[in-house]
Chains A and B, each alone.
Chain A
Amino acid sequence: MVNKKTVWGVANIALRLLVICLAVAALTALVYAVTKDPIAEGERARKEDAIRLIFTEADHFTEDTSIVFDGANAVYAVFGANGTQLGYCVDYTGNSDYGGAVNMMIGVGVDGKVSGLQVISHAETFIDRYLDDNSRYTGIDKAYGADLSAGATMSYHAIRNAIDTVETAFSAGVGGAK
């Protein structure tokens, strides 16, 4: 038979741990409330900057909700000053299996080919070696290669897989290729 004292002892420990968890959660929630808007604003600004870095002649862009495929958070149709469509920008989240999600903005020309890639956010350690000072991926035309440094290969593959997925989606008649 279970001793009442033992049960109360275990319940007491569990309750105290619960109180500690709740206190920490409340503090975290407070910090989240303070940082939520600056984080969202920063993300929005970085995405807009990425689109303008990929299509330097871009004048305006609108979200195209008709194009949907796995990994694509949003697809933007990008237009020049005279209203001609320059291409699309895909807000894409890939996974590297190392640092987790890699958020990218991938530019696709009207021919359906990837024309530029900006890394917006990541938690990779080695990804910078593939990017220039503007977080721009510089190896779009290069073939696959393996980097023997730990993690680097995974970061690299996250980018290459994203390019493949987007090119496949657009070559299948979606968006610019149609």
Chain B
Amino acid sequence: MKKLLRQLKEGILDNNPTLVQLLGMCPTLATTTSVKNAVGMGLAATAVLIFSNLFVSLLRKFIPKQVRIAAYIVIISGFVTMVELLMKAFLFSLYESLGIFIPLIVVNCIILARAEAFASKNKPLPSAIDGLAMGLGFTFALLLVATVREIIGNGSFLGVSLFGDGYAPALLLVMPAGAFLTLGFVIAAVQKIRNVKEDQARVEKLSVVEAKEAKKEETV
């Protein structure tokens, strides 16, 4: 249980694929114009991550290492096709709004990276959990960026108007340039929060060193 929680924390916060490893930038920039799209893309990628990690892990001793990348791509593209068919059948409006970015999950480097770095070296259960953790981390990052962009750039959250008709939305934020700006600020904010403990430790260490030096000078 502890291991599971640690893996989840790792994927969502400490080693977040988007905000820390800076992977999957293209879908992050392109699909975060609204919270609905971001959640849809995040969950679709999570489903692909879980099943591709599981499948790669199950077949890790069977996949020849010379063609492992080709094998991973076959597996990943199969699961993306399945997710696409399921979305087309049961979540058509989301399928339409995500458009070309659903098939492009195949080339999302988070999925290939986890298959190569984790699933190919670990047992099925930890691999599936790693897929879940990384998928949730990706969804969390998309959600953060989309929330900022939709609220400021469109004056709404999940399509519900927040500020009424008088609000003049900052359209820049829903444009591509706004995606880069928002993502930059979100990454900076998350890095700042992650580094608070490290910063405090560094400041404490510095103050101890300074105090020692001051004492030395006094004795001299």
Contact = CB atoms under 8 A, between A and B. Distances in A.
B115 to A, nearest CB: 13
Contact of A20 (B74, B89, B90): B74
A99 to B, nearest CB: 5
A122 to B, nearest CB: 7
Interface residues of B, number: 27
Contacts of A20: 59, 62-63, 71, 74-75
A123 interface: yes
Contacts of A99: 99-100
B86 A35 contact: yes
Nearest to A128: B97
Nearest to B58: A23
Contacts of B63: 16, 20
A67 interface: no
Interface string B83-111: 00110111010001101110100000000
A16 B62 contact: yes
By secondary structure, the A interface counts as helix
B99 A31 contact: no
A17 B62 CA distance: 9
A97 to B, nearest CB: 12
Contacts of B90: 35, 38
A161 interface: no
B67 interface: yes
Contact of A125 (B30, B71, B85, B88): B30
By secondary structure, the B interface counts as helix
Interface in A99-135: 99-100, 121-125, 128
A24 B85 contact: no
Nearest to B93: A135
Contact of B89 (A13, A35, A100, A123): A35
Given A35-B88, A123-B100, A28 B59 contact: no
A173 interface: no
A34 B101 CA distance: 23
A125 B41 CA distance: 14
Interface string A26-56: 0110011011001100100010000000000
Q: Which 5 A-B pairs have the closest CB atoms?
A: A24-B78, A35-B89, A38-B89, A31-B82, A35-B85
22 contacts: A13-B66, A16-B63, A16-B67, A17-B74, A19-B62, A20-B63, A20-B71, A20-B74, A21-B74, A24-B78, A27-B78, A28-B81, A32-B85, A35-B90, A39-B88, A42-B88, A121-B96, A122-B96, A122-B99, A124-B99, A125-B30, A125-B101
Interface of B: 30, 59, 62-64, 66-67, 70-71, 74-75, 77-78, 81-82, 85-86, 88-90, 92, 96-97, 99-101, 103
Interface of A: 12-13, 16-17, 19-21, 24-25, 27-28, 31-32, 34-35, 38-39, 42, 46, 98-100, 121-125, 128
